[in-house]
Structure 1
Amino acid sequence: MNGRSAMRLARLQETLARGGTIHLSEAARLCGVSEMTIRRDVAASDGAMVFLGGRLVMADNPQYAPVYSVDEQKDSHFQAKHRLCEQAAGFIEEGDTLFIDCGTTLLPLIGLLSGRKQLTVVTYALNVANAVSTLPDVRLVLLGGVYYPASQSFGSDDMNHSIRRLGINRAFFSAAGVHEQKGVSCFHFHEVAPKQAAIACAAQRLLVADESKIGVIRPAYFARLDDFDVVITDGDMAPSPESGGPRIVAA
């Protein structure tokens, strides 16, 4: 990105920082360039701004975030999620206590627990809990609170304390956005506390994300990429540096 492009992006971000949106044509007039140039600038940027219906918005503005629904997402990237969970299952050992995040990405992992002995699953997601409840040899710890139907999950003020009191061997996380510079994010702010609590106390942290999540920013930030020990993905992510970044496992 050249200096003029960076200056245009900075001007647009300054305008958007006051709130609201900018139509593409308005952004072009503001910067004195064509609409195509604005599109190229945004496409080459760090993902802080996105187009929504022909208007430019800040990617982390929750007012303009797309609506998330578990029911709508359950069939999205179905085969990819199975491949990712097959890789994830390879990290599980007998006797583990597992934290399994909400959403649909990790649901195939539940079926792969069948036949394993002395496992405990900790979750705040009703859909995950329902799946685990069909496995007779797996102990379930369901964290409760206020129920949020869109994500089929619970939230409460003391959930992070409950998680921190548990001994978690491996924590498996899903995300709606995974960005190398802007970190890992989700749609719903009530998910941030349990995710961060599990990151803080788990012996091993594994992020599972299909290619549709890579390079995306969602409203609720919850972690840096280097907060995870392993990232399991079929997306285009550079191998981890030797300086301590997560191990990237391709699926």
Structure 2
Amino acid sequence: MLKEERISAIADYIKEMQTVSMADLVNRFGVSPNTLRRDLSKLLENGNFKKIYGGVTVNNNNKSLIDYTERKSKTSKDKISIGKVAASLFESGDLIFLDSGTTTDAISNFLPRNISYTLITNSLQLIVAASELSNVKLLIIGNQFNPKTQSFTGTDEDTLFNKYNINKAFMSATGISLNNGVTNSEFNEFKIKSQVLTKSLSNPNQENILLIDHTKFDRTALLTYAQINQFSKIITSGEAPLKYKEYFEKNNIELINSHLKTKPSVNPHK
């Protein structure tokens, strides 16, 4: 890859991830730290990005988060297939948390209408879809609306989820990495995600299910909200890299390929 092409690819990656670490960029683009620093010095000249401790981030004063509709259009077929498989896991009487994000939002197209269940969510799209269904009890969290992510964040208490006995939590992520776990870039969403995963540590009945398209593997965003082994199922599109398949099998995590609509020969021990 030519220098100009590499710098352009690095810029595109930072825009999509919003915040990335130096280590992530070195690993992803196969360059030395010195070469990366020279590339970043060129990128920092136009003001679209700014350096932070240990990495680089999009300069929100110059360019804000990638718009929700733009993120939604990327790999949209993959997200739809993931959403359909996720919705097939709903059961009567479930108390379900649905995370915000373009992948989890795809569930809105497939919300079951023939069973009764409760949904807790901060996603505007899921709120609108669920509000039209008489079989769904809807609980909305968050008191601040972010138009860029089409979600509500901000709660009055850090122990909000202690009062809810969630039995299934469907979560999204900006990236997944064997070294850095499950990550995202936005701090207010990170707080909600972290609270949901923390509650599962004291609630053995809570099953955490991660929804990620195949482009999220080997990506790391600024904030780690969970370790991979906190999830019992991972629904993704396409094939997961071999090292992840091996990790999932070792940790009894069920991997579901949404395009195949079948489950590989991994027998999780409950």
TM over 0.5, shorter chain: yes
How has the CA–CA distance of structure 1 residues 42 and 113 changed in structure 2, closer, same or farther, with 3 Å as cutoff? closer
2:225 to 216, 222, 225: 222
Q: CA deviation at 1:116?
A: 3.1
Match of 1:121 in 2: 119
Q: Which ranges in structure 1 are unaligned for 5 or more consecutive residues?
A: 1-20, 23-38
Q: What is the rounded CA distance, in whole Å, between the counterparts of 1:199 and 1:166 in structure 2?
A: 12
1:228 is matched by which residue type in structure 2? F
Q: What is the rounded CA distance, in whole Å, between the counterparts of 2:123 and 2:157 in structure 1?
A: 12
Which deviates more, 227-236 or 97-106?
Answer: 227-236
What TM-score, normalized to structure 1? 0.72
For the Cα contact (< 8 Å) 2:87–2:112, is it kept in 1? no
Q: Which has the larger radius of gyration?
A: 1
2:29 is matched by which residue type in structure 1? A
Matched, 1:43 2:50: no
Q: Which ranges in structure 2 are unaligned for 5 or more consecutive residues?
A: 1-20, 45-50, 201-205, 259-270
Q: What is the rounded CA distance, in whole Å, between the counterparts of 1:60 and 1:132 in structure 2?
A: 41
Q: What is the rounded CA distance, in whole Å, between the counterparts of 1:137 and 1:59 in structure 2?
A: 48
How many percent of aligned residue pairs carry the same amino acid?
Answer: 24
Q: How many residues align?
A: 212
1:113-165 CA-partner distances (Å, limit 9, x unpaired): 23132211101222221221122211110012222221122222435422221
Q: Relative to total residues, which structure has the larger helix share, 1 or 2?
A: 2
Match of 2:72 in 1: 74
1:147 is matched by which residue type in structure 2? F
**Mapping 1:9-24, distance limit 5 Å:** none
Matched, 1:90 2:88: yes
Match of 1:249 in 2: 256
For the Cα contact (< 8 Å) 1:68–1:187, is it kept in 2? no
How has the CA–CA distance of structure 1 residues 44 and 130 changed in structure 2, closer, same or farther, with 3 Å as cutoff? same
How has the CA–CA distance of structure 1 residues 42 and 213 changed in structure 2, closer, same or farther, with 3 Å as cutoff? closer
> For the aligned residues, what is the CA RMSD?
3.1
Match of 2:268 in 1: none
1:204 is matched by which residue type in structure 2? E
SS in 2 for 1:105: helix
1:200 to 198, 213, 224: 198
SS in 1 for 2:256: strand
What TM-score, normalized to structure 2? 0.68
**Mapping 1:75-224, distance limit 5 Å:** 75-158=73-156, 160-202=158-200, 203-224=206-227
**Mapping 1:48-67, distance limit 5 Å:** 55=43, 61=55, 63-64=57-58, 67=65
Q: CA deviation at 1:178?
A: 1.3
Q: CA deviation at 1:81?
A: 0.8
How has the CA–CA distance of structure 1 residues 192 and 42 changed in structure 2, closer, same or farther, with 3 Å as cutoff? closer
